[in-house]
Structure 1
Protein backbone atom coordinates (compact mmCIF):
# COMPACT_ATOMS: atom_id res chain seq x y z
CA UNK A 1 0.00 0.00 0.00
CA UNK A 2 1.33 3.44 -0.91
CA UNK A 3 1.18 5.97 1.92
CA UNK A 4 -0.64 9.13 1.01
CA UNK A 5 0.92 12.48 1.75
CA UNK A 6 -0.26 14.39 4.81
CA UNK A 7 -1.39 17.90 4.00
CA UNK A 8 -2.86 20.83 5.89
CA UNK A 9 -5.95 22.75 4.90
CA UNK A 10 -8.34 25.20 6.54
CA UNK A 11 -11.12 23.40 8.39
CA UNK A 12 -14.63 23.85 7.13
CA UNK A 13 -17.92 23.74 8.98
CA UNK A 14 -18.57 20.13 8.01
CA UNK A 15 -15.37 19.14 9.88
CA UNK A 16 -16.72 20.28 13.28
CA UNK A 17 -18.08 16.88 14.33
CA UNK A 18 -14.91 15.07 13.25
CA UNK A 19 -12.82 17.59 15.22
CA UNK A 20 -15.00 16.95 18.27
CA UNK A 21 -14.42 13.21 17.85
CA UNK A 22 -10.65 13.76 17.63
CA UNK A 23 -10.74 15.96 20.74
CA UNK A 24 -12.60 13.27 22.70
CA UNK A 25 -10.40 10.39 21.44
CA UNK A 26 -7.15 12.25 22.21
CA UNK A 27 -8.20 12.97 25.78
CA UNK A 28 -9.63 9.48 26.35
CA UNK A 29 -6.23 8.04 25.37
CA UNK A 30 -4.39 9.96 28.11
CA UNK A 31 -3.34 8.10 31.25
CA UNK A 32 -4.26 9.47 34.66
CA UNK A 33 -0.68 10.69 35.14
CA UNK A 34 -1.19 14.44 35.50
CA UNK A 35 -4.97 14.72 35.80
CA UNK A 36 -7.64 12.65 37.50
CA UNK A 37 -10.32 10.75 35.58
CA UNK A 38 -12.83 13.42 36.68
CA UNK A 39 -10.60 16.18 35.28
CA UNK A 40 -10.05 14.32 32.01
CA UNK A 41 -13.79 13.78 31.65
CA UNK A 42 -14.44 17.50 32.27
CA UNK A 43 -11.72 18.39 29.74
CA UNK A 44 -13.67 16.55 27.06
CA UNK A 45 -16.84 18.37 28.15
CA UNK A 46 -18.21 15.24 29.85
CA UNK A 47 -18.72 13.69 26.42
CA UNK A 48 -18.14 10.21 25.06
CA UNK A 49 -19.79 11.04 21.73
CA UNK A 50 -18.84 13.96 19.44
CA UNK A 51 -20.80 17.18 19.45
CA UNK A 52 -19.39 19.70 17.02
CA UNK A 53 -21.61 22.60 18.13
CA UNK A 54 -18.94 24.33 20.27
CA UNK A 55 -16.28 23.86 17.61
CA UNK A 56 -18.70 25.14 14.98
CA UNK A 57 -19.26 28.31 17.09
CA UNK A 58 -15.52 28.76 17.65
CA UNK A 59 -14.88 28.54 13.89
CA UNK A 60 -16.49 31.96 13.57
CA UNK A 61 -13.64 33.62 15.53
CA UNK A 62 -10.69 31.20 15.49
CA UNK A 63 -8.66 29.87 12.57
CA UNK A 64 -8.98 26.08 12.41
CA UNK A 65 -6.57 24.00 10.35
CA UNK A 66 -6.70 20.26 9.84
CA UNK A 67 -4.11 17.66 8.90
CA UNK A 68 -5.46 15.24 6.32
CA UNK A 69 -4.30 12.17 4.49
CA UNK A 70 -6.53 11.70 1.50
CA UNK A 71 -9.94 12.55 2.92
CA UNK A 72 -9.17 11.43 6.51
CA UNK A 73 -8.82 14.23 9.08
CA UNK A 74 -6.12 13.12 11.54
CA UNK A 75 -5.67 16.19 13.72
CA UNK A 76 -6.35 19.88 14.06
CA UNK A 77 -5.18 23.16 15.51
CA UNK A 78 -7.07 26.33 16.25
CA UNK A 79 -5.56 29.73 16.83
CA UNK A 80 -6.43 33.36 17.10
CA UNK A 81 -3.80 35.93 16.04
CA UNK A 82 -0.83 35.08 18.33
CA UNK A 83 -2.38 32.35 20.51
CA UNK A 84 -2.51 28.65 19.75
CA UNK A 85 -5.76 27.68 21.41
CA UNK A 86 -6.10 23.97 20.66
CA UNK A 87 -4.00 21.18 19.19
CA UNK A 88 -5.26 17.61 18.99
CA UNK A 89 -4.15 14.59 16.96
CA UNK A 90 -6.18 11.38 16.93
CA UNK A 91 -4.27 8.75 18.97
CA UNK A 92 -3.92 6.34 16.04
CA UNK A 93 -2.06 9.04 14.06
CA UNK A 94 0.17 10.40 16.82
CA UNK A 95 3.94 10.16 16.40
CA UNK A 96 3.84 11.00 12.68
CA UNK A 97 4.79 14.69 12.95
CA UNK A 98 1.22 15.93 12.57
CA UNK A 99 1.22 18.01 15.75
CA UNK A 100 4.60 19.51 14.83
CA UNK A 101 3.34 20.40 11.33
CA UNK A 102 0.23 22.10 12.73
CA UNK A 103 2.25 24.12 15.28
CA UNK A 104 4.78 25.13 12.63
CA UNK A 105 1.92 26.24 10.39
CA UNK A 106 0.50 28.38 13.21
CA UNK A 107 3.95 29.93 13.86
CA UNK A 108 4.48 30.63 10.15
CA UNK A 109 1.05 32.28 9.86
CA UNK A 110 1.85 34.49 12.86
CA UNK A 111 5.31 35.35 11.54
CA UNK A 112 3.89 36.25 8.12
CA UNK A 113 1.62 38.74 9.92
CA UNK A 114 4.63 40.38 11.59
CA UNK A 115 4.01 38.78 14.99
CA UNK A 116 7.27 38.10 16.79
CA UNK A 117 6.00 36.09 19.77
CA UNK A 118 3.27 33.48 20.14
CA UNK A 119 1.70 31.90 23.19
CA UNK A 120 -0.16 28.76 24.13
CA UNK A 121 -1.60 27.13 27.21
CA UNK A 122 -0.22 23.60 27.39
CA UNK A 123 -1.62 20.69 29.31
CA UNK A 124 0.94 19.07 31.58
CA UNK A 125 1.06 16.21 29.05
CA UNK A 126 2.00 18.55 26.19
CA UNK A 127 4.58 20.70 27.97
CA UNK A 128 7.55 18.58 26.80
CA UNK A 129 6.23 18.56 23.22
CA UNK A 130 6.13 22.36 23.13
CA UNK A 131 9.57 22.64 24.76
CA UNK A 132 10.99 20.46 21.95
CA UNK A 133 9.42 22.89 19.43
CA UNK A 134 11.23 25.87 20.95
CA UNK A 135 8.57 27.15 23.34
CA UNK A 136 9.54 28.37 26.80
CA UNK A 137 7.52 27.72 29.93
CA UNK A 138 6.34 30.97 31.51
CA UNK A 139 4.40 29.72 34.52
CA UNK A 140 1.97 27.13 35.79
CA UNK A 141 -1.55 28.58 36.03
CA UNK A 142 -5.06 27.30 36.72
CA UNK A 143 -7.24 26.61 33.69
CA UNK A 144 -11.00 26.78 34.10
CA UNK A 145 -12.86 24.20 32.05
CA UNK A 146 -16.43 24.88 30.88
CA UNK A 147 -17.80 22.61 33.61
CA UNK A 148 -16.12 24.69 36.32
CA UNK A 149 -13.38 22.12 37.00
CA UNK A 150 -9.97 23.75 37.41
CA UNK A 151 -6.82 22.00 36.15
CA UNK A 152 -3.16 23.08 36.24
CA UNK A 153 -1.62 24.02 32.88
CA UNK A 154 1.53 25.77 31.70
CA UNK A 155 1.52 29.11 29.89
CA UNK A 156 4.21 28.98 27.21
CA UNK A 157 5.64 31.31 24.59
CA UNK A 158 7.90 31.19 21.57
CA UNK A 159 9.80 34.02 19.93
CA UNK A 160 9.51 33.98 16.14
CA UNK A 161 11.56 35.44 13.36
CA UNK A 162 9.23 37.70 11.40
CA UNK A 163 9.16 37.45 7.62
CA UNK A 164 11.20 40.69 7.46
CA UNK A 165 13.91 39.28 9.78
CA UNK A 166 14.06 36.05 7.80
CA UNK A 167 14.66 37.97 4.58
CA UNK A 168 17.57 39.90 6.13
CA UNK A 169 19.01 36.78 7.78
CA UNK A 170 19.01 34.97 4.44
CA UNK A 171 20.84 37.87 2.83
CA UNK A 172 17.96 38.96 0.64
CA UNK A 173 17.10 42.65 0.84
Structure 2
Protein backbone atom coordinates (compact mmCIF):
# COMPACT_ATOMS: atom_id res chain seq x y z
CA UNK A 1 0.00 0.00 0.00
CA UNK A 2 1.32 3.43 -0.89
CA UNK A 3 0.39 6.69 0.77
CA UNK A 4 -1.26 7.70 -2.52
CA UNK A 5 -3.98 5.18 -1.65
CA UNK A 6 -4.66 7.09 1.57
CA UNK A 7 -6.75 10.21 1.91
CA UNK A 8 -7.20 12.49 4.91
CA UNK A 9 -10.41 14.20 5.91
CA UNK A 10 -11.86 15.91 8.97
CA UNK A 11 -13.29 13.49 11.52
CA UNK A 12 -17.05 13.18 11.72
CA UNK A 13 -19.29 12.22 14.60
CA UNK A 14 -20.00 8.91 12.87
CA UNK A 15 -16.26 8.09 13.14
CA UNK A 16 -16.00 8.12 16.94
CA UNK A 17 -16.61 4.42 17.48
CA UNK A 18 -13.98 3.40 14.92
CA UNK A 19 -11.54 5.96 16.38
CA UNK A 20 -12.04 4.36 19.77
CA UNK A 21 -11.51 0.91 18.22
CA UNK A 22 -8.25 2.07 16.58
CA UNK A 23 -7.06 3.62 19.87
CA UNK A 24 -7.73 0.36 21.75
CA UNK A 25 -6.23 -1.88 19.03
CA UNK A 26 -3.06 0.23 18.75
CA UNK A 27 -2.43 0.10 22.49
CA UNK A 28 -3.32 -3.60 22.76
CA UNK A 29 -0.71 -4.34 20.08
CA UNK A 30 2.10 -2.80 22.13
CA UNK A 31 4.41 -5.14 24.02
CA UNK A 32 5.03 -4.37 27.70
CA UNK A 33 8.50 -3.06 26.82
CA UNK A 34 8.24 0.50 28.15
CA UNK A 35 5.03 0.32 30.18
CA UNK A 36 3.53 -2.38 32.37
CA UNK A 37 0.37 -4.23 31.40
CA UNK A 38 -1.43 -2.21 34.11
CA UNK A 39 -0.24 1.06 32.55
CA UNK A 40 -1.22 -0.07 29.05
CA UNK A 41 -4.66 -1.06 30.30
CA UNK A 42 -5.12 2.37 31.95
CA UNK A 43 -3.90 4.07 28.75
CA UNK A 44 -6.76 2.48 26.83
CA UNK A 45 -9.14 3.51 29.63
CA UNK A 46 -9.66 -0.10 30.72
CA UNK A 47 -11.62 -0.70 27.52
CA UNK A 48 -11.67 -3.83 25.41
CA UNK A 49 -14.57 -2.62 23.28
CA UNK A 50 -14.92 0.75 21.54
CA UNK A 51 -16.66 3.60 23.33
CA UNK A 52 -17.19 6.61 21.09
CA UNK A 53 -18.36 8.85 23.92
CA UNK A 54 -15.18 8.09 25.84
CA UNK A 55 -12.84 9.18 23.05
CA UNK A 56 -14.61 12.52 22.73
CA UNK A 57 -13.55 13.32 26.31
CA UNK A 58 -9.96 13.69 25.14
CA UNK A 59 -10.31 15.27 21.70
CA UNK A 60 -12.50 17.54 19.61
CA UNK A 61 -13.77 16.44 16.21
CA UNK A 62 -13.04 19.87 14.71
CA UNK A 63 -9.30 19.33 15.21
CA UNK A 64 -9.10 15.67 14.30
CA UNK A 65 -8.17 14.26 10.93
CA UNK A 66 -8.72 10.68 9.87
CA UNK A 67 -6.74 8.62 7.39
CA UNK A 68 -8.89 6.59 5.03
CA UNK A 69 -8.11 3.75 2.65
CA UNK A 70 -11.09 3.30 0.37
CA UNK A 71 -13.92 3.99 2.76
CA UNK A 72 -12.25 2.53 5.87
CA UNK A 73 -10.82 4.76 8.60
CA UNK A 74 -7.37 3.36 9.45
CA UNK A 75 -5.82 6.08 11.61
CA UNK A 76 -6.30 9.50 13.11
CA UNK A 77 -4.53 12.51 14.57
CA UNK A 78 -5.94 15.04 17.00
CA UNK A 79 -4.37 18.47 17.45
CA UNK A 80 -5.00 21.85 19.01
CA UNK A 81 -3.28 24.82 17.34
CA UNK A 82 0.43 23.98 17.83
CA UNK A 83 0.14 20.71 19.74
CA UNK A 84 -0.39 17.21 18.38
CA UNK A 85 -2.56 15.63 21.08
CA UNK A 86 -2.88 12.10 19.78
CA UNK A 87 -1.86 9.96 16.84
CA UNK A 88 -3.02 6.39 16.34
CA UNK A 89 -2.87 4.05 13.36
CA UNK A 90 -4.55 0.65 13.35
CA UNK A 91 -1.81 -2.00 13.86
CA UNK A 92 -2.66 -3.63 10.52
CA UNK A 93 -1.64 -0.41 8.74
CA UNK A 94 1.34 0.71 10.83
CA UNK A 95 4.69 1.18 9.12
CA UNK A 96 3.09 2.24 5.82
CA UNK A 97 3.48 6.03 6.06
CA UNK A 98 0.05 6.80 7.49
CA UNK A 99 1.33 8.25 10.75
CA UNK A 100 3.88 10.27 8.80
CA UNK A 101 1.13 11.66 6.53
CA UNK A 102 -1.01 12.63 9.53
CA UNK A 103 1.91 14.39 11.23
CA UNK A 104 2.78 16.20 7.99
CA UNK A 105 -0.83 17.37 7.67
CA UNK A 106 -0.69 18.70 11.24
CA UNK A 107 2.58 20.54 10.50
CA UNK A 108 1.18 21.96 7.24
CA UNK A 109 -1.92 23.23 9.09
CA UNK A 110 0.32 24.89 11.67
CA UNK A 111 2.44 26.54 8.95
CA UNK A 112 -0.75 27.81 7.28
CA UNK A 113 -1.58 29.51 10.59
CA UNK A 114 1.87 31.11 10.81
CA UNK A 115 3.07 28.79 13.57
CA UNK A 116 6.79 28.08 13.43
CA UNK A 117 7.12 25.48 16.21
CA UNK A 118 4.90 22.55 17.16
CA UNK A 119 4.81 20.23 20.14
CA UNK A 120 3.73 16.75 21.07
CA UNK A 121 3.88 14.45 24.04
CA UNK A 122 5.18 11.12 22.80
CA UNK A 123 4.84 7.75 24.43
CA UNK A 124 8.18 6.03 24.88
CA UNK A 125 7.15 3.74 22.00
CA UNK A 126 6.63 6.70 19.65
CA UNK A 127 9.71 8.71 20.56
CA UNK A 128 11.84 7.23 17.74
CA UNK A 129 9.06 7.81 15.21
CA UNK A 130 8.91 11.51 16.05
CA UNK A 131 12.71 11.83 16.07
CA UNK A 132 12.75 10.43 12.50
CA UNK A 133 10.22 13.13 11.53
CA UNK A 134 12.47 15.93 12.78
CA UNK A 135 11.14 16.40 16.30
CA UNK A 136 13.60 16.87 19.14
CA UNK A 137 13.18 15.65 22.68
CA UNK A 138 12.70 18.41 25.24
CA UNK A 139 12.40 16.33 28.40
CA UNK A 140 10.99 13.22 29.98
CA UNK A 141 7.94 14.03 32.05
CA UNK A 142 5.14 12.31 33.92
CA UNK A 143 1.82 12.01 32.09
CA UNK A 144 -1.33 11.64 34.15
CA UNK A 145 -3.89 9.34 32.58
CA UNK A 146 -7.57 9.97 33.33
CA UNK A 147 -7.53 6.99 35.69
CA UNK A 148 -4.84 8.62 37.84
CA UNK A 149 -2.11 6.26 36.62
CA UNK A 150 1.11 8.14 35.87
CA UNK A 151 3.32 7.06 32.94
CA UNK A 152 6.59 8.52 31.65
CA UNK A 153 6.45 10.32 28.29
CA UNK A 154 8.74 12.53 26.25
CA UNK A 155 7.83 16.14 25.55
CA UNK A 156 8.97 16.94 22.01
CA UNK A 157 9.03 19.87 19.59
CA UNK A 158 9.72 20.57 15.96
CA UNK A 159 10.69 23.83 14.31
CA UNK A 160 8.76 24.33 11.09
CA UNK A 161 10.18 25.96 7.99
CA UNK A 162 7.77 28.70 7.09
CA UNK A 163 8.27 29.73 3.48
CA UNK A 164 7.95 33.51 3.08
CA UNK A 165 5.31 34.56 0.55
**TM norm structure 2:** 0.94
1:68-147 equivalence runs, <5 A: 68-147=68-147
Moved more, 121-130 or 4-13: 4-13
Asked if the contact 1:65–1:76 (Cα under 8 Å) also holds between the matched residues in 2, the reply is: yes
What residue in structure 2 maps to residue 28 of structure 1?
28
Counterpart of 2:17?
17
- d(CA) in 2 for partners of 1:13, 1:129: 29
Structure 1: state its 5+ residue gaps.
Answer: 168-172
1:13–1:59 contact (8 Å) kept in structure 2: no
The answer as to whether partners of 2:25 and 2:90 remain within 8 angstroms in 1 is: yes
Count residues in correspondence.
Answer: 163
- The alpha-carbon deviation at position 39 of structure 1 amounts to 0.1
> Separation in 2 of the partners of 1:61 and 1:136?
28
Normalised TM-score (structure 1): 0.90
Shift of 1:159: 0.3
Q: How many angstroms apart in 1 are the aligned matches of 2:70 and 2:155?
A: 34
Question: Which runs of 4 or more aligned residues in structure 1 lie more than 2 Å from their structure 2 counterparts after TM superposition?
Answer: 54-62
RMSD, aligned CA: 1.6
Query: How is 1:32-71 mapped onto 2 (pairs within 5 angstroms)?
Result: 32-60=32-60, 63-71=63-71
2-structure distance, mates of 1:54, 1:30: 21
Instruction: Give deviations 1:82-101, integer Å, cap 9, x for gaps.
Output: 00000000000011100000
Deviation track 1:23-73 (CA, whole Å, cap 9, x = no partner) reads 000000000000000000000000000001033355547500000011100
Query: 1:59, 1:153 → 2: CA distance?
Result: 19
Question: How far is the alpha carbon of 1:5 from its aligned partner?
Answer: 1.4
